[in-house]
Amino acid sequence: MKKIHVNSKCCDAKIHKFGSKRKQCSVCKKTWRNRPKKRGRKKIRVTTNIVHDVLLRGETLSQRSKRGTLTERQCQLRYHRALDAISRKKWFPEIPEEKLILIVDGLWTMSDGKRHVVYLMAIRPISHPQAFLLPPVVLRGGENRKKWEIAFETMPPLLKQQIIALVCDGISGLPNIAKKHSWIVQRCNFHFIKVMERFRGKSNRHVQNKELREDIYQTIRHAMEVPYGEKYDEVLSRLASLMSDPLCPKWVRLHSNEFMKRKEDFRAYLRYPEYNLPSTTSSMENLCGSVRDMLRRSRGLKNEKSLSKWVNEFIKLKKKITCNGKNQPK
């Protein structure tokens, strides 16, 4: 029931009205409003549009200010306010409940004069080519097995149980981690081809044994793609004979021996065609390029915390990438 005649809270005395808004205590003469307004400057509504434009579209704050009425400093304040508001919300993508492929890559950058590595991870169901980006992990120092284990620990245990394969580059610790979790290993063919191209001697006219180097390079590339059978055995035997040649350079033989030891890791997409595995980490390399471009536009970040915040928000807005398998349906 609404009270019509109420005494003042301060002196429990009669109240005088001044119009429809203000009231006054008859004893201490204190006045107040029926609906008091909030004191101070009105808060600006936080929107994520400016964060999307800067991080994903590649627009600078200077360009943003020129197409509106705000100054560059005002755009900067609004951007950081919106970035802080988004970063307070924790996130994790909704992963479908089926067999998954884990694609990983590391991106090193400098922050506060120290080297940091951004550990990027994506999960792709075997049924379609869209890969879901997981929250990245930023750690100081170089890239190694111990820090990859720290990055993998951020994934929920149930998600790890859905993973059947790991697609990675030539970091030595990653195949061992995959073996520990009973994952199939698919090493990036492109990374190894780029390593062999350094010893190919294509741009150097005076390199020794140029024909032998080129023959080993082409044979390794052929061994990565030829189906299993007699032809595959012939390619391997030819590669072994080329490696045993006394004129074979030391570093070419060293990397060729690595390929012979790990040859099945480069051909997992052929052994398991039903999983439609990618033969390279090119989708993650493309993502690394986008993150690197975003960091370049930011012109350096002060510390590890700001680096982690910017990269996390970029991945959160990016959400997905396309990662096609090697065996495409015709």
Number of domains observed in the structure of the chain: 3
Per-residue model confidence (pLDDT) at position 134: 93
Q: Are residues 148 and 81 in the same domain?
A: no
Distance CA 275, CA 102 (A): 12
Assign residue 232 a region: left if phi > 0, alpha if psi is -120 to 50, beta otherwise? alpha
* CB 243 within 8 Å of CB 258: no
Q: Does one domain contain both 122 and 82?
A: no
- Pair 157, 206 in one domain: yes
Shared domain for 159 and 19, answered yes or no, is: no
Residue 176 shares a structural domain with residue 310: yes
**Angstrom distance (rounded) from CA 5 to CA 286:** 72
Which domain does 77 fall in, by range? 49-87
Same domain membership, residue 228 and residue 141: yes
Looking at the structure, tell me whether residues 57 and 140 fall in a common domain.
no
The answer to whether residue 327 is domain-embedded is no
d(CA 67, CA 81): 20
- Residue with tokens 């620990």, as numbered in its chain: 153
Report yes or no on 203 lying in a domain: yes
| Per-run averaged pLDDT (10 residues), the chain, 330 residues | 73 86 89 82 77 84 84 87 84 86 91 88 91 92 90 91 91 87 93 87 73 90 91 92 89 90 92 92 91 82 83 90 72
Place of tokens 């021996």: 257
CA dihedral 25, 30, 35, 39 (to 10 degrees): -170
Q: 240 in a domain, yes or no?
A: yes
Residue 94 lies in a domain: no
Are 81 and 104 within one domain?
Answer: no
Same-domain check for residues 174 and 292: yes
| Residue 95 falls inside a structural domain | no
SS3 146: helix
Q: pTM for the whole thing?
A: 0.80
The reply to whether 177 and 81 lie within a common domain is no
Verify that 241 and 175 share a domain, yes or no.
yes
Q: Based on the domain organization, do 132 and 24 belong to the same domain? A: no
